[in-house]
Every structure is written in C-alpha cells, then in structure tokens.
C-alpha cells in the first residue's frame, strides 16, 4: 500500500506526495483528480517531459501506462544536463505543445530530476497562463527537495533559477525503486539535500542518518523509504508555513549561496548536491568564525559529509571569483545577502551580516590548491 503525504497550500489541501515502489499506481492516482472540471484523464492529452537519460530508462514505460488511460500521450525529451535548463528549451516545449494542440485542460508530466521538474513546472505555469502538471521525480535530490513546494524556473545567462514562478503540481508521484538505478554520484548528490534537513531543523534525523549510514550507502529499501519520507516531511513543514519564501523557507538555502557560485564557476561539471555539501561546509565554517558553532562542531559537521561520498574540499576554483559570483546573485536580488548559518546541528538561522572577507576565508578553507597537493 502506497504511503501518502498531503501538502497544504495557504492552509488548504493542495496535492499529495505518493510514495510507491513502481509506476503502476500512477493512472489510478490521476483518475481520482479533477482536470478542467472533469474527473480523471480519459479526455485529456498528456505530455511527458523528460531528459535524454530518463527517457531511455522510463520514458516508454510511463508513456505506455498513461496512453492506455488518456486521450493521447506524447513525449518531449531534451538533452540531459543543466545546460538545457533555459528559455530555449521552454520555447521548444511551447512549440511542441502548440503543434500537439494542447489546451488548458491538458496535462504535463515532469519525469526526471530537478532540471526536468523545474523546467516543466515553469512551462506549465506559463503555457496558456497555466495548465496542470504532475511531478514524477526520478532522482533522490528531486524526490526529497525540488519536486515539492512549487518552485519552478530556469536559468538565465549565468544566473541560476533567475526566471521562474511558484506553481504547485497536482500530484507528486514517487517510485522509490528508481533510486536503486541511480549512479553513485547522482545518489550521493541527493544525500546533501537529505543531510541539509538534519542540519537545519531536525537533529534527531541527523543522528538517524549517522546511525543508518551503512544501510543508506547500501540503499536498503526500508531505510531509503524512511529517509525520503522524513526528508519530505521536513520540507512539507517548511513550505506549508512559508510557501513563497517570505521568511523561514530561506533556511532551505543552507549551503546554496556558495554552493551555487561553485556550481557556476565549475561550469556545472559538479553536481548540485556536491556543491551544496561544499556550501554547507563553508557555512559551518563561517558559523564557527562568528562563534555560533564551536570548532569541534564545525569539524564534526564537515567530516560527516565524507561517508556519504560528498566533497569537503574543491580544486580548480579561484576563491575570489566564487565570492564575486555570490555577489552577482546578491546584486540581482537587489538587497543584502541572506546567508544561512548554523547555531547547532538542527538549528539554522538567517544572517545578514556575513562579509565578503568572511566568505573568502570560508571558500579558502574548502579550497584544495596545487600547493596543498605538494605538501
Ligand atoms: N529547494 C529550496 C526550496 O524549495 O525552497
């Protein structure tokens, strides 16, 4: 029996997260929802949006399931990777939808990781001023974070997620068995977002992650289910309280200010979660230097990323450039940078006093240079 976590928006039931172990229950879930004033999908066209990697794995399977129940199922796949997360891909998708005569009652299905989910959500928010969409996240990162909470968008020039909208899916359907087929790098990248929940608001969960480290790395099915469910519950609590990031939702950006800058500087060769792990280490370092954390706490937090195969240092960057990149984000946000620091494991805080010098020192702390190699 699939587990279910309802998400409220402005205190009203909005959509369910369904935790399953296959795709088989998808059509039944959709048949219970109303689209364009009518129950079910029998008279609806569905466009599955995916990337070139996920298409090969699950594209035909999901299309086959939906095609058997809906009016017409079509598939739109774009090249996998962050480089596709832009308005050009959105434009191609608009053109495809127009050619396929999609109207406001039809449905988009985001089948894939964070890039697919964010881009499909944004297209859904804007095509014909908004059509329904469903999230089927297929990476750990998308399951525990990006598919929940209605953040949609694409990158613009060098700016990550600069164009977007808050737009809620009608359903988030998770097939947890897909986590088994992720390559190690993708899997552990998602672990950074999982650990983030422990660090920022759930010390018990953080302890649980440490206690179950072996099973997590082995991808034990029961442990994975509990881990994803507890992560989603943490995200639910935050996004229900602050759906449009007026306040505490910003805590979810722990590790992201410096993380995003490294992601950009590295030309997206490192995965998002790898950069978030580095960003969390840098944030913990600043927290120590600002005497919010003790030195021991800093090193414990830093070292806990290692067993989950996440980096705690990075080479081939210019620390000054990283700080500049964080500033360009700040400038575009037209305000003081809202840096997320840690008071202890399980307690994050928004801080607006972090200086460029403090950021530079933190980036130098995680920077592994050619000289370090010689020592
Ligand atoms: N991924 C951060 C958020 O949903 O707010």
Q: Tell me the pLDDT tens digit for each residue of 110-119.
A: 999 999 999 9
Whole-number pLDDT of residue 157: 86
Whole-number pLDDT of residue 333: 52
Q: How far is the CA of 193 from the centre of ligand 1 (A)?
A: 10
pLDDT in tens, 184-211: 999 999 999 999 999 999 999 999 999 9
Radius of gyration for the chain, computed over Cα atoms and rounded to the nearest angstrom: 20
Say how many Å lie between the first and final Cα of the chain, rounded.
56
Give the number of the atom of ligand 1 that is nearest the alpha carbon of residue 250.
5
Angle, vertex CA 117, rays to CA 122 and CA 191, nearest 5: 140
Give the number of the atom of ligand 1 that is nearest the alpha carbon of residue 249.
5
pLDDT in tens, 305-324: 999 999 999 999 999 999 99
Q: 164 with 116: CB under 8 angstroms? A: no
Task: Provide the mean pLDDT of the chain.
Answer: 95
Give the number of the atom of ligand 1 that is nearest the alpha carbon of residue 235.
4
Whole-number pLDDT of residue 330: 45
Find the range with the poorest average confidence among 1-5, 7-11, 183-187.
1-5
Q: What is the pTM of this model?
A: 0.96
Which of 169, 172, 252, 350 for a ligand 1 pocket mutation test, highest count of atoms within 8 Å of Cβ?
Answer: 252
User: Which domains, ranges and CATH numbers included, belong to the chain?
Assistant: 3-181 (3.40.50.1970), 184-374 (1.20.1090.10)
Give the number of the atom of ligand 1 that is nearest the alpha carbon of residue 146.
1
Q: Backbone phi, then psi, for 139, in 5-degree steps?
A: -120, 160
Which of 122, 145, 196 for a ligand 1 pocket mutation test, highest count of atoms within 8 Å of Cβ?
Answer: 145
SS3 content of the chain, % helix, strand, coil (to 5): 55, 20, 25
Question: Which residue's alpha carbon is at the smallest distance from atom 3 of ligand 1?
Answer: 252
Q: How far is the CA of 222 from the centre of ligand 1 (A)?
A: 26
**Once rounded to an integer, what is the mean pLDDT over residues 174-193?**
97
Q: What proportion of the chain, given as a percentage, has pLDDT over 70?
A: 97
Burial class (CB in 10 A: 0-12, 13-18, 19+), 218: exposed
| Spatial CB neighbours of 270, under 8 Å, sequence gap ≥ 6 | 262, 263, 311, 314
Give the number of the atom of ligand 1 that is nearest the alpha carbon of residue 151.
4
Question: Which residue's alpha carbon is at the smallest distance from atom 2 of ligand 1?
Answer: 252
- Residues touching ligand 1 (Cβ under 6 Å) are 145-146, 149, 151, 249, 252
List, in sequence order, every residue forming a beta bridge with 3; answer none if it has no partner: 19
Asked if residue 352 has pLDDT above 60, the reply is: yes
List, in sequence order, every residue forming a beta bridge with 77; answer none if it has no partner: 50
Which of 9, 113, 149, 167 for a ligand 1 pocket mutation test, highest count of atoms within 8 Å of Cβ?
Answer: 149
């Amino acid at each position: 029996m699939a587990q279910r976590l309802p998400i409220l928006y402005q205190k009203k039931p909005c959509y369910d997260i369904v935790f399953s172990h296959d795709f088989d229950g998808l059509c039944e879930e959709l048949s219970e929802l109303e689209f364009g004033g009518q129950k079910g999908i029998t008279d609806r066209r569905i466009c599955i949006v995916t990337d070139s990697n996920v298409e090969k794995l699950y594209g035909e399977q999901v299309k086959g399931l939906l095609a058997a129940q809906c009016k017409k199922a079509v598939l739109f796949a774009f090249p996998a990777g962050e480089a596709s997360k832009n308005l050009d891909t959105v434009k191609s998708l608009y053109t495809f939808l127009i050619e396929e005569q999609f109207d406001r009652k039809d449905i988009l299905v985001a089948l894939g990781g964070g890039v697919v989910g964010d881009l499909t959500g944004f297209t859904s928010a804007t095509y014909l001023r908004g059509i329904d969409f469903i999230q089927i996240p297929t990476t750990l990162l998308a399951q525990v974070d990006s598919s929940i909470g209605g953040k949609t968008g694409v990158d613009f020039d060098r700016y990550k997620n600069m164009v977007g909208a808050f737009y809620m899916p009608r359903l988030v359907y998770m097939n947890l068995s897909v986590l088994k087929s992720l390559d190690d790098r993708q899997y552990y990248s998602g672990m950074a977002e999982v650990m983030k929940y422990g660090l920022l608001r759930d010390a018990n969960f953080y302890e649980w992650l440490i206690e179950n480290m072996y099973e997590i790395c082995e991808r034990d099915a029961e442990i994975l289910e509990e881990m994803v469910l507890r992560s989603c519950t943490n995200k639910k609590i935050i996004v229900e309280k602050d759906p449009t990031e007026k306040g505490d939702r910003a805590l979810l950006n722990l590790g992201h200010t410096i993380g995003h800058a490294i992601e950009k500087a590295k030309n997206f060769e490192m995965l998002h979660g790898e950069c978030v792990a580095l960003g969390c280490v840098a944030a913990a370092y600043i927290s120590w230097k600002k005497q919010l954390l003790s030195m021991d706490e800093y090193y414990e937090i830093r070292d806990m990323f290692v067993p989950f195969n996440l980096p705690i240092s990075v080479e081939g960057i210019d620390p000054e450039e990283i700080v500049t990149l964080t500033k360009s984000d700040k400038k575009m946000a037209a305000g003081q940078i809202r840096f997320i620091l840690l008071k202890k494991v399980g307690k994050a805080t928004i801080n607006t006093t972090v200086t460029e010098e403090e950021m530079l020192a933190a980036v130098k702390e995680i920077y592994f240079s050619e000289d370090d190699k010689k020592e």
